[in-house]
Amino acid sequence: MKAKPSAKTGLTVIAGAVVTVLVWIATMNNIEVPGQVAAAVTTIIAGIVGYLVPAKSGKYVDRTPVPDDYEAKH
């Protein structure tokens, strides 16, 4: 199988791993981080990364070209 994860998937996984390492470092420095807090922080960071990194393909990706005179509506 030649499947390759998207940047969105890869960065979300890396973000979770980074939080895990940071919690470990905190623990090694005598800062107690409850498991529930570590899990919540991991979920929040993964959610933020998932929200900020654009999807490359899929059902909700709009590939319509943006016209040069496009102006965002607020």
pLDDT in tens, the chain (74 residues): 566 777 888 888 999 999 999 999 999 999 999 999 999 999 999 999 888 887 776 676 667 788 888 887 76
Chain segment 20-38, per-residue pLDDT in tens: 999 999 999 999 999 999 9
Residue 69 lies in a domain: no
Tell me the C-alpha distance between 58 and 74, whole Å: 26
Residue 27 lies in a domain: yes
**Which residue type is seen at 54?**
P
Query: Residue 19 in contact with residue 44, Cβ under 8 Å?
Result: no
Residue 35 lies in a domain: yes
Range of the domain at 20: 7-51
Tell me the C-alpha distance between 31 and 43, whole Å: 20
In this prediction, residue 5 carries a pLDDT of: 74
Tell me the C-alpha distance between 31 and 13, whole Å: 24
Residue 33 lies in a domain: yes
Residue 15 lies in a domain: yes
Residue 23 lies in a domain: yes
What value does the mean pLDDT of the chain take?
Answer: 86
DSSP state of 66: P
For the chain, what is the domain count?
1
